[in-house]
Amino acid sequence: MELVTDAVNKTNIEGSAASSIYGMPVDAHSPFYLELYRKSVQNPVAFWEELGHLLDWDRPWQQVLDNSNQPFTKWYVGGYLNACYNAIDRHILAGRGDKVALIHDSPLTETVRKVTYQELYDQVVLLAGGLAKMGVTKGDRVVIYMPLIPETIVAMLAIVRLGAIHSVVFGGFAARELCSRIEHVEPKLVIAANAGVEPGKVVPYLDILHSAINMSRWKPPQPNIIFMREQVALDILDDKADILWSTVLDMGKASQPVACVPIEANDPLYILYTSGTTDKPKGVLRTIGGHLVALMYTLKMIYGIQPGDTWWAASDMGWVVGHSYICYGPLCLGATSVMYEGKPDRTPDPGQYFRIIDQHKVCGIFSVPTSFRVIRRADPEISYGRQYCMKSLRAIFIAGEHCDYETKAWIEKTFKVPVLNHWWQTETGSAVTATCLGFKHNLNPPMYSTGLPLVGYEIKVLKKDGTEALPSELGRIVLKLPLPPGNMATLYRNDELYRKLYFQKFPGYYDTMDAGYKDERGYIFVTARDDDVINVAGHRLSTSSLEDAVLRHPDVVDVAVFGVPEPTKGQVPLCLYIPVDGCKKTDAKLSTEIIKLIRDVVGPIAAFRLITSVNNLPRTRSGKTMRKAMADFARNERVILPATIDDASVFSEIRRALQHLGYAMSAPDPIVAKLLD
C-alpha cells in the first residue's frame, strides 16, 4: 500500500504561514477531524479495521484492504456477516426488541403505525421462511416493487437474511422501466404491493407488474408475492401468476425461524438501478461489509444520530437514500426510522413536516431543498407549521440538488437549526463531502459549500488536461483511488462499462462527472453535473450559480436555468422563474429587475437576457426539477417524460413560455411514459 508522505505541507494563508493537512489549514478546522482524516487517507487499513467492529461478524476478516485489482477494491476480505442480523437480531438479543424501529406516517391513508424491532423480526423471519420454501437461496436475486411502507423493509431484510440479493424498483416507474430491470437482474421472483397512493390517485402496481412481466424476455420461475393494501385498493390476483403475502407468511414457521445466512463481506447486498436508465440498465452493485460499516459510522459522525434517536430521511426506498438511511443505516445503529408517505404541502397542508418533527420527536432530517421550497411557496408565513414544537430537532441535512442561499436562509430561520448541505451519489452510497456534527465541524461553512471531505476521500479538482485546478478554479471533481468502504463494487453484469465510465478519463481516480472547485480552506463546492455547465462564448458558467443569483430577488420563489443554442455565442442561459404569490409586478418589470441583478452579481459575461415567468416547473415525484427535459424541449427535440413526473400538463405552459422567447417553436408534444406500456 502506498503511503502519502506529503500530507503536511506549508501554505500561505492570508499572508501568514500555517500548517495544512491535504490543503486544509490546521487553524481553520477541528483538530479532531483533521487527525481522523489524515489517518484515514495515510493509513486506511488501520482506520477502517477499527471501524469494522461496529458490526457483528460471523467470521472475522483476514485482510482489511485488497487493492490488487484496482478499481475493483475489496474491504474486510474473508469476513462473513449478515445484514439482517446486524439490523434486527442483535438488537433483540441485547434486550432492545421493544424499541421502535420504524414509524410509518401516511396522511394519504390517514394512518400512523409504529413497528418495534421485535415486531419487525417476527415479520421478517416468517417471510424469509416462506421465501426459503419457494426456493430462494444465497445469491438469488429478488425484485421489489413496493411503495414506502414497512413491508418494503420487511421484504428487503427477509431477502438478505437468506443471503439473497434484492433489487428495489421505485414504485412510480412504468411497466417498461420495470421490465428492463427484471430482464437485466433476472430475479427468481418479484415481491410487490397491489397499489400505491398519490394525492388524488391510486397507482395500480399490480397491473403495472403484470404488464412488465408480460413484455419481459425473462419470466421469473416463481409466482409474484403480492402485499394487498386493502385500505387503498382491492385487486383480484391471477392465481397462476400471483400469491398473497399473507400466504407466504403462513409458509414460514415462527417456532422455527430461518437462520441468517452469513455471506462474505464482498458478496452483493443489493443491486440498485440509477434513475433514468431504461434502454441500457446501469445497476449499481453494492457489497455488504464495507457498506454497513460506512452507514453506521456516517449516521453517527455526519448526522449526529445515536441509538434510540428518531431520524427521518425524507426519501423513498427506490432511491439510494432509502437504502442507506431509511433502512440499513438506522436499523443497524438501533435508531428509529421515519417513513413518511405524503407530500410537503398538500397532504393535507404545508404543516406536515412540522407535525412529524413534533409528533415523533425527530432529531435529524435528510431532505431535498425542493421540499422546503414547496413549503415556503405554499405557506411563507408558516401559518400551518407554527403550532408545532421543534425542540427535538438538532439539524437539517440537504442533498440531491443544489440549494440556493435564500432557501437555506429561510429553512434556518423557520426551523431554527443548522441547515447543512452535503454531496454524494448513488454510486458512493453515502456522503463524499459534508459538514458533520460528529467531527466538530464549523456549522457555518462558506455559502454554497457542500462541506469538507469525508474521511477516506482524497478529493481533487482537475482540468481537462488532467492537471490540478487552482483554488476556486472550476474543474471536474475526482476521487483518488482506492475508494473507502461503501462505494459500489461494480456495475451488475458489466465490469467493462464500470471501468470505462468511471475510471478511464482520469486514471487513478474515480470520475464523479460533477463540476466544482475547492477554496483555500479545503471546502468543496459542487456547482452542477458537468453536463449542466454551459459554455457561453468560451466562458464556462454553472447554471446553479445563475439560479442562486435569481433567487436573491425577493419576488422569486423558484427558478430553473438551462442552456439553449445561440448562433453567435454557442450557448446562452434561459431562465424560467416562479414569482411569489401575490406579486404585483408585471412579468416585464420583474424580468428586467432580475436581468439587472444578474449583471450586478455575475456580470455581462452571462449573456442573461432570455427570461420569463411561469406558474409551475416540471418536477419528478421525488421533487427534482426536470431541467434537461426543458432544455431538450427548447431545442425542438422529442422529449419522453418518465412516469414519475408529478404533473405532465405543466409542459403546456412551458411551451408558451419558451415560444415567447423564441424557442420550442416546432417542438413535438412531450410523450409521457405510460404506466402499463
465-499 tens-digit pLDDT: 999 999 999 999 999 999 999 999 999 999 999 99
372-382 tens-digit pLDDT: 988 998 999 99
Give the lowest-confidence range in 1-10, 23-32, 146-155, 376-385: 1-10
Q: Is 90 exposed, middle or buried (0-12, 13-18, 19+ CB in 10 A)?
A: middle
C-alpha dihedral, 386 to 407 to 397 to 489, nearest 10°: 150
pLDDT, residue 165, reads 98
Residue type, 507: P
Statement: residue 103 has pLDDT above 60: yes
Distances (CA, A) of 334 to 55, 158, 391: 12, 18, 22
Q: Which grid coordinates belong to 61?
A: 476478516
Specify the number of domains making up the chain. 1
Spell out a b/e string for 479-506, using b for 16 or more CB atoms within 10 Å of the CB, else e.
Answer: beebbbbbbbbbbbebeeebeeebbeeb
311-360 tens-digit pLDDT: 999 999 999 999 999 999 999 999 999 999 999 999 999 999 999 999 99
> In a 3-state reduction of DSSP, which class is residue 486?
coil
516/527 Cα distance (integer angstroms): 5
Statement: residue 174 has pLDDT above 50: yes
Query: In the 8-state DSSP scheme, what is residue 469?
Result: P
With respect to residue 387, please indicate whether it lies within any of the assigned structural domains. Answer: no
617-653 tens-digit pLDDT: 998 877 788 999 999 999 999 998 887 788 899 999 9
With respect to residue 605, please indicate whether it lies within any of the assigned structural domains. Answer: yes
525/446 Cα distance (integer angstroms): 9
With respect to residue 601, please indicate whether it lies within any of the assigned structural domains. Answer: yes
Contact 522, 25 (CB under 8 A): yes
Helix (H) or strand (E) holding 8, with range, is: strand 8-13
290/47 Cα distance (integer angstroms): 13
Nearest to 373 by CA among 559, 245, 504: 559
475/466 Cα distance (integer angstroms): 10
With respect to residue 542, please indicate whether it lies within any of the assigned structural domains. Answer: yes
Contact 351, 386 (CB under 8 A): no
Q: Where are the beta strands (DSSP E) in 614-662?
A: 640-641
Give helix then strand counts, H and E, for the chain: 20, 37
pLDDT, residue 10, reads 33
Statement: residue 577 has pLDDT above 60: yes
pLDDT, residue 531, reads 57
Contacts of 213 (CB under 8 A, 6+ apart): 179, 182, 190, 219, 220, 224, 241
Statement: residue 17 has pLDDT above 80: no
With respect to residue 130, please indicate whether it lies within any of the assigned structural domains. Answer: no
Alpha helices per DSSP H over 198-351: 205-215, 245-251, 289-301, 320-322, 329-333
Average pLDDT over residues 216-242: 96
Nearest to 351 by CA among 322, 383, 329, 319: 383
> In a 3-state reduction of DSSP, which class is residue 502?
helix
Contacts of 229 (CB under 8 A, 6+ apart): 109, 147, 149, 193, 194, 195, 197
Nearest to 130 by CA among 90, 99, 87, 159: 159
Read off the CATH number of the domain in which 551 is found.
Answer: 3.30.300.30
Average pLDDT over residues 390-406: 92
Confidence of residue 173 (pLDDT cuts 50, 70, 90): confident
Nearest to 190 by CA among 119, 129, 141, 125: 141
Distances (CA, A) of 658 to 626, 630, 631: 15, 9, 10
pTM as predicted: 0.89
Residue type, 643: A
466/405 Cα distance (integer angstroms): 32
pLDDT, residue 541, reads 80
End-to-end, the C-alpha distance of the chain in Å comes to 52
Contact 45, 64 (CB under 8 A): yes
Residue type, 5: T
Nearest to 342 by CA among 355, 332, 324, 330: 355
400/368 Cα distance (integer angstroms): 6
Query: In the 8-state DSSP scheme, what is residue 466?
Result: S
Give the DSSP letter string of 370-411: HHHHHHHHH-TT-TTTTTS--TT--EEEE-SS---HHHHHHH
Q: Which grid coordinates belong to 571?
A: 450557448
Nearest to 288 by CA among 191, 157, 403: 157
239-280 tens-digit pLDDT: 999 999 999 999 998 889 999 999 999 999 999 998 543 346
Query: In the 8-state DSSP scheme, what is residue 263?
Result: E
Nearest to 595 by CA among 575, 624, 566, 614: 575
Distances (CA, A) of 674 to 211, 301, 648, 671: 11, 43, 12, 9
Residues spanned by the domain of 556 = 537-672
With respect to residue 566, please indicate whether it lies within any of the assigned structural domains. Answer: yes
Residue type, 405: Y
With respect to residue 590, please indicate whether it lies within any of the assigned structural domains. Answer: yes
346/201 Cα distance (integer angstroms): 13
Q: Cis omega before residue 668 (within 30°)?
A: no
Contact 59, 80 (CB under 8 A): yes
Q: Is 601 exposed, middle or buried (0-12, 13-18, 19+ CB in 10 A)?
A: middle
Contact 627, 532 (CB under 8 A): yes
Nearest to 487 by CA among 56, 2, 36, 73: 73
Percent of the chain topping pLDDT 90? 81
Q: Which grid coordinates belong to 321?
A: 437514500
With respect to residue 339, please indicate whether it lies within any of the assigned structural domains. Answer: no
C-alpha dihedral, 205 to 206 to 208 to 209, nearest 10°: 110
Average pLDDT over residues 559-572: 90
